[in-house]
Amino acid sequence: MMMIVAISSSTNLNILKSKKVMAYFEMFTERGNQACTQAFENIKTVINGDKFLTVDELRAIVKAEVNQVSIDHPEVYDTEPEWHFVDRIDEVLKAKGYAYRISRNDLH
């Protein structure tokens, strides 16, 4: 059984390191939250990798991951899920030392 955890931008993202914790993205279903959590984990793994990502490279990765979620869960493009993605990704970027951040527009 997975646990849903509401995580704000001020929350320590270390809690998301556990694969058993599902983040809350305000999706319509648990499966939608699971899909968003997996997409975020994939993005976080790339950001935390050894290669420095340009903003354009990251935008392409984020768009691809969110687009994959949208196939089964089109509500990912609603305001709330988008803000959850942006807040969480920006926290990871900040923690890794990146000087840039993303916006909701980067998800499309």
Total of domains in the chain: 1
Give the domain extent around 91. Answer: 29-107
Which band of pLDDT confidence, cut at 50, 70 and 90, is reported for residue 20?
Answer: low
The pTM assigned to this predicted structure is: 0.81
In a domain, 90, yes or no: yes
Average pLDDT over residues 99-107: 95
In a domain, 62, yes or no: yes
Cα distances from 103 to residues 15, 22, 66, 85, in angstroms, run 23, 23, 13, 9
In a domain, 17, yes or no: no
In a domain, 48, yes or no: yes
> Which one is predicted more confidently, 22 or 72?
72
Query: Distance (Å, rounded) from C-alpha 59 to C-alpha 15?
Result: 24
In a domain, 79, yes or no: yes
In a domain, 70, yes or no: yes
In a domain, 3, yes or no: no
Amino acid 2: pLDDT: 45
pLDDT at 9 over 90: no
In a domain, 14, yes or no: no
Amino acid 46: pLDDT: 97
